[in-house]
């Protein structure tokens, strides 16, 4: 299969390029940076460049995006331009070129908070956490009906979206645009909702990096990881090689027999082994030999409390099963420092 991979020089994209090449596919890259695939830099918002890269392509794997929670509202134009406008240009050129298969890098952030159950009211969707509660150290979202504590669970793809920050808004917009493209063209979209991806080549020293990279950067500098809230936030940390393999499986599944032409099908790409942020910080500190994490009680308004997934659909329909266990993955993530010390 001939595949156009946007974001091919990025953290996730570079691993996908390797996975697709190893599986025997021909990969053409599109990134604003050199990507090792021999393709000159180009921007996904450049329609002419996208049109040229789409010639002879069978499917597109769209990873190009501005990622991270963001710093403040000044980031809104950049997020919208890169993620929404870039995707719109790509989809328009795919329609013109007659390319009908798209694997889209979506995210668990489209859900907002995860799944919760109230002992009185059953399954509920809590609203955004109140600022006064966060300031007082009350981090668990209460039942929106009675205010009682909630039991967190795992979210499935059928859950309604509830984005809580600019990045999440743009990832959901990507899904909506892709679904419209699929309906108009009869194409198929596999939207892979990544959970917390980590692993080799993860960027460091940037406010847009993931929490694993931020913790590792501090440990590499000999400083303790700073854990927000109380460290009990539940997440699903999934290794980048597993994410890359999920993309390869989704492309091959779509090419062989799309589950539903003219539609978007969402898949949680997760380990199925939830951990707390404190667990992750502790595992990295152990691999580095310290210093130990420090729980700060700080918070960010755009963060959610718990978001873990049910990966059953990806296992059933794509044959996706994560292979990198948490402890092994975190030890490898620390390896560049450990082996050089």
Q: Considering Cα of 181, then 194, then 300, then 162, what sign does the dihedral take?
A: positive
What's the rounded Cα separation, in Å, for the pair 122 and 178?
A: 33
pLDDT at 340: 38
pLDDT tens series, the chain, 341 aa:
999 999 999 999 999 999 999 999 999 999 999 998 989 999 999 999 999 999 999 999 999 999 876 657 888 999 999 999 999 999 999 999 999 999 999 999 999 999 999 999 999 999 889 999 999 999 999 999 999 999 999 999 999 999 988 899 999 999 999 999 999 999 999 999 999 999 999 987 665 567 888 999 999 999 999 999 999 999 999 999 999 999 999 999 988 876 677 999 999 999 999 999 999 999 999 999 989 999 999 998 878 999 999 999 999 999 999 999 999 999 999 876 544 33
Question: Does residue 200 contact residue 243 with C-beta atoms inside 8 Å?
Answer: no
DSSP string for residues in 220-271: HTT---EE-TTS--EE-EEEHHHHHHHHHHHHHHHHH--SSTTEEEEEEE--
For residues 106 and 175, the answer to whether their CB atoms sit within 8 Å is yes
Residue 77 tokens, joined: 């134009």
295 vs 329: CA distance, rounded Å: 23
Which residues, in sequence order, are bridge partners of residue 2? 26
- Token pair of 256 as six digits: 């062989």
Instruction: Give the pLDDT score at 216.
Output: 92
Question: Which two three-digit tokens encode residue 252?
Answer: 């091959």
- What residues pair up with 275 in beta bridges, in sequence order? 235
Closest CA to 47 of 7, 87, 104: 87
> 238 - beta bridge partners?
197
E strand map for the chain: 2-6, 26-30, 59-62, 101-107, 116-118, 122-124, 151-152, 154-155, 188-194, 196-198, 226-227, 234-235, 237-239, 263-269, 275-276, 294-295, 308-309
d(CA 40, CA 299): 41
pLDDT value, residue 256? 81
Q: Which helix (H) or strand (E) holds 91?
A: helix 86-97
pLDDT at 162: 92
Fold of 2-114+155-334: Rossmann fold (3.40.50)
Q: How far apart are CA 166 and CA 72, in angstroms?
A: 9
> Could you tell me the pTM of the whole model?
0.93
Per-residue pLDDT, 339: 41
Domain coordinates in residue numbering, the chain? 2-114+155-334
């Amino acid at each position: 299969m001939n595949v156009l991979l946007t974001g091919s020089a990025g953290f996730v994209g570079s691993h996908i390029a390797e996975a697709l090449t190893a599986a025997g596919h021909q990969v053409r890259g599109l990134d604003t940076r050199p990507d090792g695939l021999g393709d000159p830099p180009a921007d996904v918002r450049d329609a002419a460049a996208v049109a040229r890269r789409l010639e002879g392509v069978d499917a597109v794997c769209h990873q190009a995006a501005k990622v991270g929670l963001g710093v403040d509202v000044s980031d809104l134009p950049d997020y919208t331009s890169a993620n929404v406008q870039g995707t719109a240009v790509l989809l328009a050129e795919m329609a013109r070129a007659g390319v009908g298969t798209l694997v889209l890098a979506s995210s668990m952030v489209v859900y907002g908070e995860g799944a919760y159950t109230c002992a009185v009211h059953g399954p509920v969707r809590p609203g955004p956490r109140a600022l006064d509660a966060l300031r007082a150290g009350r981090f668990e979202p209460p039942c929106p009906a009675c205010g009682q504590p909630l039991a967190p669970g795992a979210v499935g793809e059928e859950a309604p979206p509830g984005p809580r920050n600019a990045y999440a808004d743009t990832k959901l917009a990507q899904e909506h645009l892709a679904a419209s493209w699929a309906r108009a063209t009869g194409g198929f979209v596999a939207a892979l909702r990544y959970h917390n991806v980590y692993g080799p080549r993860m960027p460091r020293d940037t406010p847009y990096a993931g929490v694993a990279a931020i913790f590792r950067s501090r440990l590499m500098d000999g400083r303790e990881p700073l854990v927000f809230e109380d460290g009990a936030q539940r997440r699903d940390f999934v290794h980048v090689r597993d994410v890359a393999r999920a993309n390869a499986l989704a492309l091959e599944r779509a090419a062989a027999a799309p589950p539903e032409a003219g539609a978007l099908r969402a898949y949680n790409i997760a380990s199925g082994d939830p951990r707390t942020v404190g667990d992750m910080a502790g595992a990295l500190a152990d691999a580095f030999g310290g210093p130990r994490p420090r729980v700060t009680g700080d918070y960010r308004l755009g963060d959610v409390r718990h978001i873990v997934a049910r990966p059953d659909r990806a296992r059933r329909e794509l044959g996706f099963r994560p292979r990198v266990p948490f402890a092994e993955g975190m030890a490898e993530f620390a390896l560049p420092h450990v082996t050089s010390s």
